[in-house]
Amino acid sequence: MCVEGVRAGIWWFNSILGGQDYQRYVDHLRRTHPGCEIPTEREYWRHRHAEADNNPTNRCC
């Protein structure tokens, strides 16, 4: 039972930090844009952070 609780905590923490965002994005591209080039994970995060800096919506600071 303790191991399950730890796993659930890790899953929750990972989802809060966006740990599955890249994989969800890749799945989305494959489903809705089948011929589209898939960026590397590094390119994805670089673009995502640049967008967040350029359009600072929904941020407290």
Q: Residue 41 and residue 1: Cα distance in Å, rounded?
A: 34
35 is a domain residue = yes
In this prediction, residues 6-14 reach a mean pLDDT of: 82
Given a contact cutoff of 8 angstroms between Cβ atoms, the answer to whether 26 and 38 are in contact is yes
28 is a domain residue = yes
3 is a domain residue = no
pLDDT of 25? 94
24 is a domain residue = yes
Q: What is the pLDDT of residues 15-61, one digit of tens each?
A: 777 778 999 999 999 999 999 999 999 999 999 989 988 887 766 65
37 is a domain residue = yes
6 is a domain residue = no
pLDDT of 52? 85
Task: Indicate the residue type of 58.
Answer: N
pLDDT of 12? 82
Q: How would DSSP label each residue in the chain?
A: -HHHHHHHHHHHHHHHTTTTHHHHHHHHHHHH-TTSPPPPHHHHHHHHHHHHHHS--S---
Give how many domains the chain has, as a whole number: 1
pLDDT of 8? 86
- Which residue segment(s) compose the domain that 42 sits in? 19-54
